[in-house]
Amino acid sequence: MPHRQLLLSWILIYLATAVGCEWSPEQDNKLVLATTTSARDSGLLDAILPGFENKTGIEVEVIAVGTGQALTLGRRGDADVLLTHAPSAENKFVADGYADQRHIIMSNDFLLAGPESDPASIKNTPHIGAAMQKMVKKEIPFISRGDQSGTHLREQQAWRDCGISPAGAWYIEAGSGMAATLRMASEMQAHTLCDRGTFLAQRDNLKLAILCQHDPNMKNEYAAMIVSQAKHPHVNFRAAQQFVDFLTSPDIQEVIGKFGIAQYGTPLFVPTGHDSLKELTRP
């Protein structure tokens, strides 16, 4: 190796050590993405990540957890970029200096799924809060994510909005991701709040139906955030920025908008800038 290159390598290693991290030449070619289980369980990541890796040569390590856990990973500097869906928690993440901004990528909506027999008589109830009140009166089993995910946080808000503190044998916390929670609800013939994308991706294996949907207060917005180098100098900011640019590019926004149509007859997500969720309805 020429002396100049050798000297440069030693300087880079020294600088990396000085800021408290271990540097390797491969670091620039790896991106750690902390994201929600719904992004994984819907199949979206499988549809878009290979294109990013092929285009950039950057390997993406996916950590799929609830939004609360993803934000914790970001605060610790254990991820380079986040893709989550809890706006209030994300705004606090930005306000606390762990990211410069939220980049809105896509949305869908939350819905109530339950037994096809509809034991609580909530089918076509226009508002999820009203449906929840009916469920409570009959003490129909309800499965909560119970994991501080974006879905769980939205469910908790829905209970607060209708003045209910859920408790009792009918209220069960799964402590699991969305797909696992849906399977549990199916096995127990219980209700659950879920995102539309994961439900549609999983429903062929479920004995559940959509009972309450299109509540205007149940929009489910996904945003990407690059972890701040000011907080964690070792994060791969360059790769994270490339990933956000990729997600917001017209080509990938189009992929997101069409994802699910071929297999499920309807898109699972609405890309950034689209102001309607109507096309998420499947006849």
Q: Give the pLDDT confidence of 259-280 residue by residue, as tens digits.
A: 999 988 889 999 985 544 444 4
Q: Is the per-residue pLDDT at 82 higher than 90?
A: yes
The domain defined by 109-212 folds into: D-Maltodextrin-Binding Protein; domain 2 (3.40.190)
Q: Which of 246, 216, 75, 89 is nearest to 153 (CA)?
A: 89
Report whether CATH 3.40.640.10 matches the domain 26-107+220-272: no
SS3 (DSSP) at 221: strand
**How far is Cα 194 from Cα 197, in angstroms, rounded to an integer?**
9
Q: Token digits for 45?
A: 């990541």
Which pLDDT does position 264 carry in this prediction? 87
Give 91-120 pLDDT, tens digit per residue.
Answer: 999 999 999 999 999 999 999 999 999 999
The pLDDT value given to residue 152: 94
Asked if residue 28 lies in contact with residue 183, where contact means CB atoms within 8 angstroms, the answer is: no
Q: How far is CA 269 from the centre of its chain?
A: 12
Whether 26-107+220-272 shares its CATH topology with 109-212 is answered yes
pLDDT, average across residues 168-178: 94
Q: d(Cα 215, Cα 57) in Å, to the nearest integer?
A: 41
Model confidence band, residue 185 (pLDDT cutoffs 50, 70, 90): very high
pLDDT digits (tens, 9 = 90+) for 20-40: 444 444 457 999 999 998 899
- Model confidence, pTM: 0.81
Locate 182 and state its tokens.
């849906």
The conformational region for residue 112 under phi > 0 = left, psi -120 to 50 = alpha, else beta, is beta
The yes-or-no verdict on residue 184 having pLDDT over 50 is yes
- Mean pLDDT across 191-215: 94
> CB–CB of 78/174 below 8 Å?
no
Quick one: tokens of 226?
């690059």
Q: Which two tokens stand for residue 253?
A: 């926004």
- How many helices (H) and strands (E) would you count in the chain? 12, 10
Q: Where are the domains of the chain?
A: 26-107+220-272, 109-212
**Residue 176 clears pLDDT 80, i.e. is over it:** yes
